[in-house]
Structure 1
Amino acid sequence: MSGSEPGGAGGRPPQGARTSGEVLESVRGLLPGIAERARSVDEKGSIPAETIRDLTAAGVFRMLQPTRYGGAEHDPVAFYEVIRAISGACGSTGWVAAVLGVHSWHLGLFADEAQREVWGTGPSPGEPEEPGEPGVPRGAGPDTLIASSYAPIGRLTPVDGGFEATGRWSFSSGCEFADWALLGALVVGAEGRPVDFMTVLVPRRDYEIREVWDSMGLRGTASDDIVVERAFVPSHRAMRNFEQAQLRNPGRKVNTGPLYRMPFGTVFTSTVAASVIGMAAGCHDLYVARMQDRIRLSLGGGRFVEDEFAQVAVARAASEIDAAVLQTDRNVREIHEYAVRDEKIPMELRLRARRDQVRGTERAIQAIDILFKTAGGNSLHRGNVIERAWRDAHAGSVHVANDVEHALSMYGRGVFGLKVEDNLV
């Protein structure tokens, strides 16, 4: 399946779905406005609803969504290109677009009853509509957004027909725009001990948002807390993380395209990395543009662009960014090709994807550090675009998906023939 055309089961482009090229073109038209609002986003600590509406209209959040529910099922690499572009204009906006966008893919791994509750548009044109489950409402439509907080902070108690969920989750980026949340939780057995690790889908009516976000970077993501008190979660809205990692998700029964045969540990973590890499790429472009007419006030004066150390800095930064993009995209393409052929994805490739994903983030941070260091004292001023990009990228780099040492250790274990057990592979 091409990264430029929509395609789900049978390759049918759903009515209203946009090609990845059309989405990217629309997003590029939005970038000047997103960049202009970036300082306000950082200072106010939130993204304007107008921006989310624009990104929705551009088709960003449907790129990885099942065709059965109005999505396009694009190759993830096309989605990452869009996320890098948005992140280059505003780190917070790119981060929120990334996580809200990838959640549309994750929901596609859940049972069809859960998907219907959120999107509610039924099967693709030409397919018979399946009867609804008793007590399962139709969703609000294909543009419904989903937030998340995947850390297993919550507690699930088995009850008749599902679970009772309780907990307080942090770092739920963009939750103010979502009507549902994907939350990580531990199933507690009769003796009060954890017996399983699951992700559950909870509607907005069952949780409260606590506004607590006040960070040094990604300030506009409004990554607030989600609080759930004894909410009932039916079985179809719960998925075992072990089965997800084993690619045995229930959504494959209805979403038969290759996108839903790809590992969560590849698609999600690469999404997080794409945003950070985009921040570095955007910073590089701004650096080059702003330094064109700069005259040094120290070190003998002269035009900044004629300084060989500045020339070396932009070269090093550009090389690190290119390497990050090329390696991460290569691995995801190869995994997608296995999925297209419906062949087992080698663990060696899954581990390599994680290796290069965390190294991609690390390279992006190295690039942005080079630029920040050589930009001079002006880059220290609050609100400077280079300073803001530096803060945003460093904030994004501490996400658990970007834990460099852990991911590299897993790769090393695999190379040495040792068993690797991790839900993020």
Structure 2
Amino acid sequence: MSEVVAAVRELLPVLRERAQQTEDLRKVPAESIEALRQTGFFKLLQPARHGGAEADPLDFYTSVRLIASACGSTGWVASVLGCHPWQLGLFAAQAQADVWGEDEDTRISSSYAPMGRATPVDGGFRFTGRWSFSSGCDHASWVFLGGLVLGDDGAPVDFRTFLLPISDYKIEDVWDTVGLRGTGSNDILVDDVFVPEYRTLSFMDTGKCECPGHEVNTSPLYKLPFASVFSYSIATPVIGMATGAYETHTAYMQERVRASYGTKAAEDPYSQVRVAEAASEIDAAWLQLEYNIGTAYKHVLAGEKVPFQLRMRIRRDQVKATGRAIGAVDRLFENSGGKALNAGTPIQRFWRDAHAGRVHAINDPERALAMYGKTQLGLKVQDAWL
């Protein structure tokens, strides 16, 4: 699917030009979403039986990195919306038909925190809740929502993802932030709606990589662990933002004159060191992602389960990747001088967007690193995001 990556690359100047407009709108312009659709990006991970490409996941992550290097908010939304067709492929065949039966370009947003409460009823669940941070929800007509299934005593007995059409939820415009302003990550409200059983998926099934969708989507792509695929979908945009910051910074520094010293910034050895340090951190973050996802994909292509220790390493390196990317952006920002503070400059937007991306729950470094450390010390780890 290198043609999709090439088409995305050709789109970068337009996305870069729209970056400030995206921030001002507080959502990605419809024109940008349509342009990405035309490249085939949103179908990279979609099942072939519903018009998708079932591509190598590295094509998807490479495309996300490119998009985020032009506009952080657009890259973030593209990554989240682009990952969801893969997850829908894990749902029962009827759920997939509900979404894609009439329009294979239908998109899904999400908010996975277990803020919903589901009560079992005949054929499914009654479902209620309020969720924050549903990135790109203005460009989707379905949503994945996290919720706890309650037993007869009112105690949780399961943690599931619930799939709802837009007729069953409301979007409340609350997104007004200092970073990732253009993601339109608004709130989702659901008030006592019925969700059929087949439009739910237990995290216990995703954790075991044994899901209803495997009956119809037999490609090895869908045997990858959900947490591995989704966590890198959150880390990759931040690496892309660092990449964009690096490209912007090095171009700027070649023209900048340091007024305080009367010398060209490019000739400052301290600036040269900071650039080298940032480049190394970005490369390290990306190389680990490529290696880990590539290794996991080789396992499923061979008909093997992804080893537990590799799943742990993916989560370890995912949070380290975001940390490295943030460190690189910080190094470049502090090397840019006072003019970098001006509103509208790309470097300060990348700096704000990257830091906003880092606070996503799945980028929480200590939790993921502690899980990895426990396994190395012989302790048992159970977590929905493995």
Q: Smaller-chain TM-score range?
A: over 0.9
**What SS does structure 1 have at the residue aligned with 2:251?**
helix
| Whole-angstrom distance in 2 between the partners of 1:179 and 1:210 | 15
Q: Which residue of 2 aligns with 1:317?
A: 278
Of 183, 191, 203, the residue aligned with 1:221 is 183
Q: Which stretches in structure 1 are left out of the alignment for 5+ residues?
A: 1-18, 121-139
1:169 matched to 2:131: yes
The answer (yes or no) to whether the contact 2:81–2:136 under 8 Å persists in 1 is yes
Higher helix share: 2
Which runs of structure 2 are paired with 1:350-365 in the superposition (5 Å)? 350-365=311-326
| Whole-angstrom distance in 2 between the partners of 1:416 and 1:346 | 17
Q: Which residue of 1 aligns with 2:382?
A: 421
Of 374, 385, 391, the residue aligned with 2:346 is 385
Which runs of structure 2 are paired with 1:337-352 in the superposition (5 Å)? 337-352=298-313
What value does the CA root-mean-square deviation take over the aligned residues?
Answer: 0.7
| Whole-angstrom distance in 1 between the partners of 2:324 and 2:15 | 25
Which runs of structure 2 are paired with 1:6-405 in the superposition (5 Å)? 19=1, 21-120=2-101, 140-298=102-260, 300-405=261-366
Cα offset, 1:44, TM superposition: 2.1
| Whole-angstrom distance in 1 between the partners of 2:234 and 2:246 | 19
| Whole-angstrom distance in 1 between the partners of 2:270 and 2:190 | 54
* Deviation readout 1:361-389 (Å, 9 max, x if unpaired): 10000000000111011111121100000
| Whole-angstrom distance in 1 between the partners of 2:25 and 2:216 | 42
* Deviation readout 1:241-261 (Å, 9 max, x if unpaired): 111111111111111111100
| Whole-angstrom distance in 1 between the partners of 2:205 and 2:21 | 42
Q: Which stretches in structure 2 are left out of the alignment for 5+ residues?
A: none
| Whole-angstrom distance in 2 between the partners of 1:249 and 1:391 | 38
Cα offset, 1:193, TM superposition: 1.6
* Deviation readout 1:375-409 (Å, 9 max, x if unpaired): 01111112110000000000001111111111011
TM-score (norm: length of structure 1)? 0.90
| Whole-angstrom distance in 2 between the partners of 1:69 and 1:116 | 8
Cα offset, 1:279, TM superposition: 0.3
| Whole-angstrom distance in 1 between the partners of 2:207 and 2:200 | 14
**What SS does structure 2 have at the residue aligned with 1:165?**
strand
Cα offset, 1:344, TM superposition: 2.2
| Whole-angstrom distance in 2 between the partners of 1:396 and 1:281 | 14
| Whole-angstrom distance in 1 between the partners of 2:73 and 2:7 | 19
Amino acid at match of 2:299: Y
**What SS does structure 2 have at the residue aligned with 1:424?**
coil
**What SS does structure 1 have at the residue aligned with 2:258?**
coil
* Deviation readout 1:396-425 (Å, 9 max, x if unpaired): 011111111110111111111211101111
Amino acid at match of 1:308: P
Cα offset, 1:188, TM superposition: 1.2
